Amino acid sequence: MFLRNAWYVVAWDRDVARTLLPLTVLGDRIVLYRTTRGTPVALEDACVHRKLPLSLGRLVDDEVECGYHGLVYDFSGRCTRIPGAKHVPGIAKVRSYPAVSRYGLVWVWMGDPTQADPASIFEVEHWDDPAWGRNSGGSMTVACNYLFITDNLLDPSHVAWIHRTSFGNEACAEEPIQTVSLHNGVVASRWMRDVDVAPFYAPMVSFKGRCDRLQHYEVRYPSHAIIKAVFVPAGEGARQADGQHPQAMIMDSYNFMTPVNENQTIYFWFQLRNFSVNDEDLSKAMDDGVRAAFAEDRVVLEAVNEGFRNKVTPNLDLAIDRAPLTFRKKLAQLIAAENPT
């Protein structure tokens, strides 16, 4: 089950052009294209006649022509032409999904169109801030249920084991995690005091020696996350909590997960940083490093998905699962509210 009344990222803006792009989102087959004016359009990918995917047809100006008998649909999903027929019946219509380009991504509203408000799209702080740098980001398909990824992104401790050569080190193994439930999501966070800088970040910090490090893992409903990493010289973490420390190195990692179906998820990400703003080599290194680290997650998450599908004894939840379980419980309530029995 999925939350329908929500925006989901379905593609990079750069990948949506004057072609018909087939996608599956929350189990729905969708065709995505861009109008001549640049607006993204998302339609049900099935002709009303013989249910041939419209993505097998062709784009004619701003309309889609079915590849079987030439029925034509406009951006609202309304059929505007049936070759050989004197008139087009009013019921000749495919579903249209509200679609918006923002932050270099295309977002599609999967629920009741009358509730679609672009103002509710996840806000990316500092997106257009010249004092912050940005890497181009990436995406990958992960063969797991999306909730195993939200689990992962509410679990700061996993970096100690999955990412021991990049995001994590031994310091990340034991420090307790605070969980806070918000109206729109859950935060799992902790400050680690007087620890080594983990390998991925070590070349980036502007100070020498050990650090205080904040891990702020925040996932909002249904499946969008900001992971904030803050590094300051050891002993200075309390000052950074006020946002004051001049040497603070901050990396905001945005993570948007879109379920394809119950066992497959498309994962989109990019990072913003408050240092080396115009350093293209660093942006490239971050893209490469993050992709390699997320590939480490993918191996584990896909195996966990299989483990849960084939389990013969119950799984045991631990104290570190508090944030993921809080998130799952509230999201399940939101989904249930959309599906009254």
Task: Tell me the closest approach of the beta carbon of residue 152 to Fe ion, in angstroms.
Answer: 6
Q: Torsion over CA of 34, 17, 56 and 48, rounded to 10 degrees?
A: -10
- 160 or 197: whose CB is closer to Fe ion? 160
Task: Tell me the closest approach of the beta carbon of residue 227 to Fe ion, in angstroms.
Answer: 9
In the bound state, the residue with its beta carbon closest to Fe ion is 297
- 77 or 156: whose CB is closer to Fe ion? 156
- 161 or 308: whose CB is closer to Fe ion? 161
- 65 or 297: whose CB is closer to Fe ion? 297
Task: Tell me the closest approach of the beta carbon of residue 296 to Fe ion, in angstroms.
Answer: 7
- 158 or 245: whose CB is closer to Fe ion? 158
Amino acid in position 254: Y
- 109 or 148: whose CB is closer to Fe ion? 148
Q: Cα 291 vs. chain centroid, distance in angstroms?
A: 14
Give me the half-sphere count of Cα atoms (radius 13 Å) on the Cβ side of residue 57.
26
Residues 120 to 149 in contact with Fe ion, rule: CB under 5 A: none
Task: Tell me the closest approach of the beta carbon of residue 186 to Fe ion, in angstroms.
Answer: 17
Question: What is the pattern of x (binds Fe ion, CB under 5 A) and - over residues 277-316?
Answer: --------------------x-------------------
Task: Tell me the closest approach of the beta carbon of residue 7 to Fe ion, in angstroms.
Answer: 24
Q: Say whether residue 151 binds Fe ion (CB under 5 A).
A: no
Secondary structure (3-state) at 245:
coil
Cβ atoms of residues 229 and 253 within 8 Å? yes
d(CA 315, CA 122): 33
- 59 or 227: whose CB is closer to Fe ion? 227
Q: Which of 66, 61, 32 shows the shortest CA–CA distance to 47?
A: 66
331: CB partners within 8 A, 6+ apart: 3, 147, 150, 221, 222
- 200 or 275: whose CB is closer to Fe ion? 200
Task: Tell me the closest approach of the beta carbon of residue 205 to Fe ion, in angstroms.
Answer: 20
Task: Tell me the closest approach of the beta carbon of residue 302 to Fe ion, in angstroms.
Answer: 13
CA dist 263 to 39, 94, 154, 203, 293, Å? 31, 26, 20, 37, 21
Q: How many residues bind Fe ion (CB under 5 A)?
A: 1
> How many other C-beta atoms lie within 10 A of the C-beta of residue 95?
13
Task: Tell me the closest approach of the beta carbon of residue 198 to Fe ion, in angstroms.
Answer: 12
Determine the longest span between alpha carbons in the chain, in angstroms.
Answer: 79
Listed as own residue / partner, the contacts of 183-187 with beta carbons closer than 8 Å and 24 or more positions apart are 184/220, 184/221, 185/218, 185/219, 185/220, 185/221, 185/327, 186/154, 186/218, 186/219, 186/323, 186/326, 186/327, 186/330, 187/216, 187/217, 187/218, 187/323
Residues 63 to 92 in contact with Fe ion, rule: CB under 5 A: none
What does the binding site for Fe ion look like in residue numbers (CB under 5 A)? 297
